[in-house]
Amino acid sequence: MYKVQHTPSASDNLVRTRRGESNALRKGQSKIHRRNTPNQDIPVPRGTPARLSRTLKVHNWWLDRDLIALRQQGYVPYSERNNTHFTRKPMRVRARSESREAMTSLALALVAHADFFPSHDYLFEVMVPFEFIAKAMGVLHQYENGRKAYDTALHALSVFEQMKHLVVHRDKDSDTGQNKPVRIWLTPDFFISKGIPHQEIRQSLIDFQNWAIKSGQLENLDKKYQRHLLRMERMGIDIQNKHGLRKLLKNIKRSVVAPDLQEQKEKAINDIKDQIDVLDKQGAENLEAELEKTQQAVSRLRGKKKSTRPYWDLFVQWERTTTTVASYLARTKVKAQHPHITENSEQFYRLLLEQEGVVVT
């Protein structure tokens, strides 16, 4: 009797995959539609953020022109952004309720943690990590192995970025090795598309600045911002070498804070060039005296725990970022325009800061 020999077939050489493993583990249970529902009641600080958030809560995404235009063209996934051959697929105009809830929740979380002080380097920067934003939205999911996922927040962020409502700086995460959003800035279109006029955005910044001056929070806000910059630099995600990004952020700030600041800046530069020769002939004695006076003022400022001269404090901070010649010319110009105001008064320094575009009026 002959023995039947088994002939190896092509199916024996197939590689086993994990496809369908999740379905097998469920064993007849219904598929999870979404693990977490975006939070629509995110706590927002009082004042300017709360006033802006009230408009965001009632925003109708079905009537958002930027979102409609984007959906008519189609989304571009983050993995396909560098693919020149990727073809967009037009979508229906009206977004689903899940997408609308995620975008509303993300908008509220970003506004709640954004920086609205106009004297800082860049406007509307989100001062917390994006993982904290996802946690505030209620969409942060942690698996048993410790891996964290917040795809709902990332998808909503990608939509905002494609609508030009955000400027996102991505960098490689040291833990996962993936490119993740590390710094986020809001643009004026983020508010304008929600029905907030450009002038109202500017007025909100003015109100926030006046509140900080009257309540004596200038020093605390400055320390918080400096700690944020140091933390970014320590983590290696500062933007000192990102010249294109820095220029874009400066243009955004100029368009909101002072639309005519560029013309004033060019005029001031020309005035400085015309008067440099005159100052060189007079000698450096006046400049050294001004520098010594400034250093004494800084020493006095450090010795005080709480200053009663907010505009003088702002002037000292501004003087650190500019040249002595520019400071001398700015004071000379204010003296010529307002000869009846004494130099050491708060009104004098307020006019000087308004003239240089540091304080918005």
DSSP per-residue letters across 214-241: HHT-HHHHHHHHHHHHHHHHHTT---TT
**Same domain for 325 and 180?**
no
Contacts within 8 Å (CB) and 24+ apart, 77-80 = 77/158, 78/154, 78/158
Signed CA dihedral, 114, 120, 123, 127: sign only: negative
Cα separation, 104 vs 110, whole angstroms: 10
Q: Are residues 184 and 329 in the same domain?
A: no
Number of domains in the chain: 2
The backbone torsions φ and ψ at residue 219, rounded to the nearest 5 degrees and listed phi first, read -65, -40
More confident residue, 162 or 354: 162
Q: Are residues 47 and 140 in the same domain?
A: yes
Pairing label, strands 148-149, 141-142: antiparallel
Kindly state whether residue 195 falls inside one of the protein's structural domains.
Answer: yes
Task: Pick 16 or 128 by higher pLDDT.
Answer: 128
Whether residues 48 and 151 share a domain: the answer is: yes
Distance separating alpha carbons of residues 48 and 204, to the nearest angstrom: 6
- 293-302: average pLDDT: 72
Is the same domain home to 234 and 315? no
Whether residues 85 and 233 share a domain: the answer is: yes
| Whole-number pLDDT of residue 1 | 45
pLDDT given at position 261: 53
d(CA 169, CA 161): 11
DSSP letters, 121-185, are SSSSBB-S-HHHHHHHHT--EE-TTS-EE-HHHHHHHHHHHHTTSEEEEEEE-TTT--EEEEEEE
Mean pLDDT (whole number) for 101-118: 93
The contacts of residue 233 (CB under 8 Å, 6+ apart) are none
State the average pLDDT over residues 182-187: 92
Average pLDDT for 140-151: 87
Give the pLDDT score at 66.
93
The domain in which residue 186 lies consists of 33-241
Domain shared by 116 and 223, yes or no:
yes
- Please count the residues of the chain: 361
Q: Are residues 214 and 328 in the same domain?
A: no
- Assess whether 316 and 224 both reside in one domain: no
- Considering the domain architecture, whether residues 138 and 37 belong to the same structural domain is answered as yes
Residues above pLDDT 90, as percent of the chain: 26
Residue 167 lies in a domain: yes
Side-chain half-sphere exposure of 44, counting CA atoms within 13 A: 26
Task: Single out the residue of 321, 326, 351, 355 nearest to residue 121, CA to CA.
Answer: 321
306: pLDDT confidence band, cut at 50, 70 and 90?
low
Asked if residue 175 and residue 44 are part of one domain, the reply reads: yes
pLDDT digits (tens, 9 = 90+) for 225-271: 889 888 888 887 878 888 888 888 888 888 887 655 555 556 666 77
Question: Does 256 reside within a domain?
Answer: no
The DSSP code for 31 is P
Separation CA 312–CA 307 (nearest Å): 9
> Would you place residue 74 in the very low, low, confident or very high pLDDT band (cuts 50, 70, 90)?
very high
State the average pLDDT for the chain. Answer: 82
Tell me which H or E stretch contains 186.
strand 179-186
Q: Which residues pair with 342 in a beta bridge?
A: none
Q: Is 251 within the bounds of a domain?
A: no
pLDDT at 111: 94
Query: CA-CA distance, 280 to 12, in Å (whole number)?
Result: 90
In a domain, 27, yes or no: no
Q: Is residue 286 part of a domain?
A: no
- Do 195 and 117 sit in the same domain of this protein? yes
Q: Which of 211, 241, 271 is the last residue of a domain?
A: 241
Question: Domain ends where: 185, 218, 241?
Answer: 241
SS3 256: helix
Does residue 293 lie within any of the structural domains? no
53 in any annotated domain: yes
Domain boundary among 212, 241, 270: 241
**Per-residue pLDDT tens over the stretch 22-55:** 667 767 777 666 778 898 889 988 888 888 889 9
Q: Residue 28: how many CB atoms within 10 A of its CB?
A: 5
